[in-house]
Structure 1
């Protein structure tokens, strides 16, 4: 308890420093430039404040904390709606991006560009000034610089994932500097810059922190992020080596508290918070503390009086294997005679990710005939009577839901997990596969550890071949089900060049499985030839155009020399 209170008090101070608690932050005003401005627009530096600030370690740490403010919180999960795992049926810009129905006027595109560059400028300003502080040991200086270099690399990663070539700005610029209106740098050049920042960060970062500093960036985070970036750009040997560097630290292990039937789900609830002490799996998270730093993700998933913001798609539900290790179209264990049958004899991660009949939930009235409020889920709700959570597809998530937090708005304090050890294991396996060096021993030390955690049948290469299953497809399936609702699916689709998946209709459960007393509420919902709900149609993905976002029109107007991506 003492360590947890110490962590909470430290986290409170940390969040005050980043300005996340509202009101004035305890740092100079130049760290708080509005994210609504252009990436090079900022409030003027006050030379007296700037000169007087960089003196003590306390000031330096406040400046580092300010750089953390752009580490994504629940927006990480929101970006899941750009892939094919989830959908929020009402129109949204993320859904428009997923459906290919957007252009360079999209506000989301410009917000991403502006916010990422605002964060980069903050990091650049720190790295230009941190060595001015006195009476600080070299180890502490290296740690602070490492944290900020990681964050700068983190921001540039998303820029090159989404936009391709982007301006590479590694210093703060005055408006008179000609670099302000320079062209974009090649994606490969920025990638090398990201790798260099991550290498430098890893060299100066510790492997772990005391309870008071849980959540700060570690050496393992730098290695793991480099592995993710390398995987995206098919730098297989770098991805393998970086993942192995994390594994060799011997710091991380899969979360197993609560046992196979619930440990995976627990990891994303309050039981899996870093401050709770049992989680040695999460390498980087956005920690949240009740009453200090909160979000609304549990309520958005099972919102009691509206449509869920994250309805699992039929595509995701179908991707879970049966307990015999076979897909549903090959396994004799699969039945779709009733709604409840869909969840039987499936990979246990399905029951711990997709809300299953008999599980606790916070969505108030579900689709039961008696329409009473019941904390146990029975059947999907379609009646828009504002008495319970409506599904968009016939399915709901249980992952990332703290049931007690569903009933109140923006009072959820789940940690948001950016990097988990599970991902590192998956990265190592995929990188080895793509180099033609993957062995059964590798699978046993990576993917089968994930399956053992939940009591799922192990993956055996010879058995896959005997069943006519493709090894690459199954490893990619493993990544999808393990990382569902963690904001990575869209980027995986891009890097695997599977954009055609986004052009397909988004579907839900079979209409005939809706109970008779609910049929009146689904009568007008279209179905496909096999009777499955068609939730979203008219989608498109034009290759190679849609593998990159367009440069936002606002940025082109400010700097025409940026040019536009092909096809836009």
Structure 2
């Protein structure tokens, strides 16, 4: 046993030397010779950080109405309402989150054994408590009532019933506040790069308070982050590219120029990599994320008005759709004439494979195929498209932008939103890209609802960041998940034969996916996984399942 543990420790130590969070960790570390010093505590804590979401955060976008996955993948089935309690994803999310919670509980039951200053131990423990709260928050968002597990369970304790959702939320918010009180406000750098701090705890408190309609708590927590004075929206000095630049390697925390990202899953070349760029613009297959007409239509025109009332909007052809729009649109969705990595060299469809000219619908292995006629360029590092699984881009789990959106939404939900509230939140997001300000008086004059416009802003700013599905559920807008997923007008195709088999609606827009359903209240929560319920009937089951 000691020999095995010694080998494991050497592996962890050598991995840790490559950089923070570069550890492929075991589920737990238990040994009488461990937990003695700060170095060992940090190694154990790194196993907890392994539970932060990576590319699977972006995959959650497939469950909403912003993008369409090309095959009947499990997340697409969830978004379409065509799944049962035995779907593998339903169980894997449950198991994965509780595995992470177990790692945190192992740490929290052992960290006080170390012979180091109590202040240091408490700070490290606070980081583990934040991660545990983050995982519990994800579970509550999916399943509602869940077991509130705060210790390493023995076999008899595995078969308890679920705790009420509100009790778990109380625990989450309290844990995050207590942890915030123990953590430093400064952004961690150097060997502590990516470690959670006060802002991370408070930002998560704001998120989960908002998710659970505790708007006063959400607004205060968001304002507490804002008042720390350490975060700012990322900019490279150019409104035409600052937003998109954040989601490239230029925005990696290691570069030291990003004061916006509060929590990230750090990735490092040759150590921790993924294939997100390639999956978005894969040159020989279907894109895994095809933007929908619903998302494209959500972007305002540059005059601050929706496309259905703005005199600036026209759509005589494909290129028209991208003109006179919120600048975040072309920094999120690929516009003709933009650089991309989705076309193979030698394809006669493009004289310059590095420049996007038109959508591709026929799967001939010579370019990226879209189901809707649109492509994302957000989160794409073009050189990484050709490298397969060697994309080392950071995944942004919590940004200061979300904090600002939470502040505005929480204020509005309490009926206390002022123009100043918008100016210190949403209008900062618009300033970054040179977009017209949101003005309450103008919204009223144009018959626009303030709540709807704040929700639109959240959808636009956080597109393809894994938030949309959860927003739809908490806003009780499940009907959106029952609508057909549509794309561009069929008549815009440069070669009509490539879309000849596409079904359209009465206005000529491609129907990329039909047959979706949403049953309320059933689909507002995931079911308790079949295998978990079978093992422990005391868990009960959610309504309709």
**1:136-535 alignment, distance < 5 Å:** 136-175=116-155, 177=156, 179-207=157-185, 208-365=187-344, 370-372=349-351, 374-515=353-494, 517=495, 519-535=496-512
Counterpart for residue 14 of structure 1: 20
Q: Secondary structure at the match of 1:70?
A: coil
- What is the CA deviation profile of residues 69-94 of structure 1, one whole-angstrom value per residue up to 9, with x for unaligned ones? 11110110000000000111211010
Q: Secondary structure at the match of 2:18?
A: helix
Please say if residues 301 and 326 of structure 2, whose CA atoms lie closer than 8 Å, have aligned partners that are also in contact: yes
d(CA) in 1 for partners of 2:353, 2:27: 51
d(CA) in 1 for partners of 2:350, 2:409: 47
Which of 50, 62, 66 is residue 85 of structure 1 equivalent to?
A: 66
Please say if residues 295 and 412 of structure 1, whose CA atoms lie closer than 8 Å, have aligned partners that are also in contact: yes
Cα separation, partners in 2 of 1:384 and 1:194, compared to 1, 3 Å: same
Counterpart for residue 6 of structure 2: none
Which of 537, 544, 550 is residue 527 of structure 2 equivalent to?
A: 550
**How far off is 1:30 after superposition?**
5.0
**How far off is 1:66 after superposition?**
0.7
d(CA) in 2 for partners of 1:504, 1:435: 30
Q: Secondary structure at the match of 1:146?
A: helix
Please say if residues 80 and 516 of structure 2, whose CA atoms lie closer than 8 Å, have aligned partners that are also in contact: yes
- What is the CA deviation profile of residues 520-560 of structure 1, one whole-angstrom value per residue up to 9, with x for unaligned ones? 12111111111000011111111111000001110011101
Please say if residues 195 and 226 of structure 1, whose CA atoms lie closer than 8 Å, have aligned partners that are also in contact: yes
Cα separation, partners in 2 of 1:380 and 1:531, compared to 1, 3 Å: same
d(CA) in 1 for partners of 2:255, 2:355: 26
Q: Secondary structure at the match of 1:419?
A: strand
Cα separation, partners in 2 of 1:345 and 1:10, compared to 1, 3 Å: farther
Name structure 1 gaps, 5 residues minimum.
1-8, 20-24, 33-48
**How far off is 1:228 after superposition?**
0.5
d(CA) in 1 for partners of 2:408, 2:273: 35
d(CA) in 2 for partners of 1:338, 1:389: 21
d(CA) in 2 for partners of 1:57, 1:479: 40
d(CA) in 2 for partners of 1:369, 1:315: 31
Counterpart for residue 109 of structure 2: 128
Superposed structure 1 runs of 4+ greater than 2 Å apart: 9-16, 365-373
1:119 aligns with 2:95: no
The CA RMSD measured in Å over matched residues stands at 1.6
Name structure 2 gaps, 5 residues minimum.
1-14
Which of 33, 51, 69 is residue 52 of structure 1 equivalent to?
A: 33
**How far off is 1:382 after superposition?**
1.3
Aligned residues: 531
d(CA) in 2 for partners of 1:326, 1:210: 41
1:541 aligns with 2:521: no
TM-score by length of 1: 0.91
d(CA) in 1 for partners of 2:303, 2:260: 27
**How far off is 1:211 after superposition?**
2.1
d(CA) in 2 for partners of 1:62, 1:68: 10
- What is the CA deviation profile of residues 352-408 of structure 1, one whole-angstrom value per residue up to 9, with x for unaligned ones? 000011110000249986444510111101121101101110000010000010001
Comparing 364-373 with 111-120, greater Cα deviation is found at: 364-373
Counterpart for residue 42 of structure 1: none
Please say if residues 366 and 389 of structure 1, whose CA atoms lie closer than 8 Å, have aligned partners that are also in contact: no
Please say if residues 382 and 521 of structure 1, whose CA atoms lie closer than 8 Å, have aligned partners that are also in contact: yes
TM-score by length of 2: 0.95
**How far off is 1:169 after superposition?**
1.2
